[in-house]
Structure 1
């Protein structure tokens, strides 16, 4: 597998990329090659007196390269110009990445919707599974908030096609997963529906699959607002990562990320692993 790690060379990015436990988790799920990408924004000019941004960024990537290569990965570096999320998505497609990783500061005590603009735009437009890796806020030497990326997963599902696609990610995540909490939230609009299959049965079927892989599994069935209830379960079980599909039942186009997924990416305390729908041909 190939992972693309996007970095702005900040202390937060360094914490996300160089954490040994995080690197071990990537190795366990089968990642062998890591592409390090940094984007020089279009409005930053390399001709500014005394400053060579491209060279300085390449030097920063080279320092990360040595650490990651020492952990056993093959590494390629990319310094590019343009709009960060667009260039990151473009490189992910070009190198056929299996996962994109971006660091994001955790929630601000003053404002829940604090997520870097690049991470937010990637969540809305990513063409490959995206890991938003939470990093401490308000410190000069930040650390990642949940080191074991996939050890304890909260999987949120509405039984849509893309939720099933997100569940399929366990085919490789399971090699680093010990515990899973499966959660389905029945919203007011779902009550009285004519579905033939009991949601509890569907959760039980998925739990059986995970338990057959030796993963300890629990089930949560909630009523209420989906995003609020999923985040409430996160506060209770403290997973390493929330796994969710980027589009549920909504028929709006993918660039308008479903509100539930968007709220989770913006407000979750820990990491979020977002699986997008297949790209339209």
Structure 2
């Protein structure tokens, strides 16, 4: 499987690349080819006085490539110009990537301005499963918050077709996952769940599947605002990564209304893995 790792060559975005355990986790779920993508914003020019952009960029990519190759992956670098999330999405689709990885420092508007806004835009528009990998804040040499990316998972479901599709990703994550918490949030705003349906029973069915794979599983039915309750569940269960499906609204709705998945990307403490409708991993 191919993966795209998006990097703006900052300390935050290179944390996954230099963390051996993170790379090992990617290998464990079947990734064997990594494409490094760095996007040059349209307003940055190589000839700006005092700035050796091309040289710095190439030295950084060479260093990243050596780390990834040493970890046992094939690696290819892409340097492109344009809008970051659009170019990253385009390359992921072109090479047939099964996963896109982007680093994010988290909730600080200032620190999260560049790569963080890219993460949010990717969450809104990606056609490929997207892993938003959290790194430490308030340090010049950050590390990832969770080295074992998939060991403890929190799966949030509204029992929609998109959520069931996202649950199927566990078949890929299985070699790297040891624990899972399955969460459903009861809300009067969600018309998709028939009143006669027992959410506890439906979670139990999914838990049985994971238990058969040796994944220790907990189920939790909560009530309230979906995003608020998913964030509260993250604080309680302390997963490495939250897994959820995106609803795949039309382009206009994605741009104007946002979604629970976008909200979780913006607010979660740890990693978030978003699976768009129909995406394969």
Q: Normalising by the residue count of structure 1, what TM-score does the alignment of the two structures yield? A: 0.92
Q: Does 1:67 align with 2:74?
A: no
Q: Distance in 2 between matches of 1:50 and 1:110?
A: 25
Q: Is the 8 A contact 1:130 1:275 kept in 2?
A: yes
Deviations 1:98-155 (A, max 9, x none): 0000000023399999971111111111110000000111101111111110000000
Aligned to 1:124: 124
**Which residues of structure 2 form unaligned runs of 5+?**
none
Could you tell me which residue of structure 2 aligns to residue 263 of structure 1? 263
Partner residue, 2:91? 91
The within-5 A match list for 1:113-262 is 116-190=116-190, 194-247=194-247, 253-255=253-255, 258-262=258-262
Distance 1:249 1:117 in 2: 19
Counterpart-to-counterpart distance in 2, 1:270 and 1:24: 19
Secondary structure of residue in 1 paired with 2:189? helix
| Structure 1 residue matching 2:75: 3-state secondary structure | strand
Name the counterpart of 2:25.
25
Q: Note the C-alpha offset of 1:258.
A: 4.7
Determine helix, strand or coil for the equivalent of 1:197: coil
C-alpha distance in 1, partners of 2:66/2:47? Answer: 29
User: Residue 146 of structure 1: SS of its match in structure 2?
Assistant: coil
- 1:45 matched to which residue of 2? 45
Conservation of the 8 A alpha-carbon contact between 1:15 and 1:144: yes
2:247–2:277 CA contact under 8 A, matched in 1: yes
SS at match of 2:97: coil
- The whole-number CA distance in structure 2 between the counterparts of 1:234 and 1:96 is 31
Structure 2: distance between partners of 1:247 and 1:159 = 12
Change (3 A) 1:61 1:82: same
Query: Compared with structure 1, are the counterparts of its residues 162 and 194 closer, same or farther at alpha carbon in structure 2 (3 Å cutoff)?
Result: closer
Aligned length: 279
**Per-residue deviation at 1:256?**
5.4
